[in-house]
Amino acid sequence: MELPVYNLAGEEVGQTELDESVFGQPFNEPLVHQAIVRYLANQRVGTHNTLRRGEVAGGGKKPWRQKGTGRARQGSVRAPHWRGGGVVFGPHPREYRQEMPVKMRRQAMRSMLSQRVRENGLRLLESLELEQPRTKEIVALLKALGITERALLITPELNRNVYLSARNLPVADATFVDQLNIYDVVRHPILMLPVEAVRRLEQRLAVPAKS
């Protein structure tokens, strides 16, 4: 499988071969869904907490005597139906983390990358280097390539200039290969990455040949 390679001016400068074991896999929707659910669950901190009846302050005595007032009997202002009282079934700290085998996570990523190729959502660049952070250079690149959907710029390594140039654009985000996750790939219809980043992805995700 070959895809065109563009320079920063949006001109096609060649073709490059993609590894079929990474970019030519069938789409596995249940597996991708499972990977996304795991990723989002692992982002949750789980520090939410509400006070039970025995944890709120006050309530050491009856609000009023048991009989003779004409009001319903009450035992404590810490009861759940009192304002400021304890919460009955409120959330408490817990761990949301989910596990998923590495092989399944990698296959989900291969499946999603392959889907982006089929949807013409992969744009390969000759390089993605900026001398200094300049947002208008990223805007010009998107315009030159005719990209109007939300795009993710993927660099081989952390590139501060690219990150700072794209972070305040509502239609673009930036990351690097080692930090790429399935959620980012799913929520960005367009993936833009230099050939070097492609090779690093293939090195990480390629399925070893069976002997």
Give tens-digit pLDDT for 142-193. Answer: 999 999 999 999 999 999 999 999 998 999 999 999 999 999 999 999 999 9
Residues 134-145, mean pLDDT to the nearest whole number:
92
Query: How far, in Å, CA of 131 to CA of 162, rounded?
Result: 9
The last residue of one of the domains, among 54, 75, 95, is 95
Residues 108-118, mean pLDDT to the nearest whole number:
95
Query: How far, in Å, CA of 37 to CA of 165, rounded?
Result: 30
Please determine, for residue 211, whether its predicted confidence score (pLDDT) is greater than 60: no
Residues 11-19, mean pLDDT to the nearest whole number:
90
Please determine, for residue 210, whether its predicted confidence score (pLDDT) is greater than 80: no
Query: How far, in Å, CA of 17 to CA of 84, rounded?
Result: 65
Host domain of residue 52: 45-95
Do 36 and 88 have their domain in common? no
Do 20 and 73 have their domain in common? no
The confidence score (pLDDT) of residue 60 equals 83
The confidence score (pLDDT) of residue 209 equals 60
Residue 211 lies in a domain: no
As for how many domains the chain has, the answer is: 2
Residue 195 lies in a domain: yes
CB atoms closer than 10 angstroms to residue 22: 22
The last residue of one of the domains, among 33, 61, 95, is 95
Do 30 and 51 have their domain in common? no
Q: Residue 189's closest CA among 161, 147, 139, 159?
A: 147
Do 62 and 165 have their domain in common? no
Read off the DSSP letter of residue 37.
H
The confidence score (pLDDT) of residue 207 equals 74
- Whether the full predicted model's pTM is greater than 0.95, yes or no, is no
Lowest-pLDDT range of 53-57, 153-157, 206-210? 206-210
Residue 55 lies in a domain: yes
Do 65 and 125 have their domain in common? no
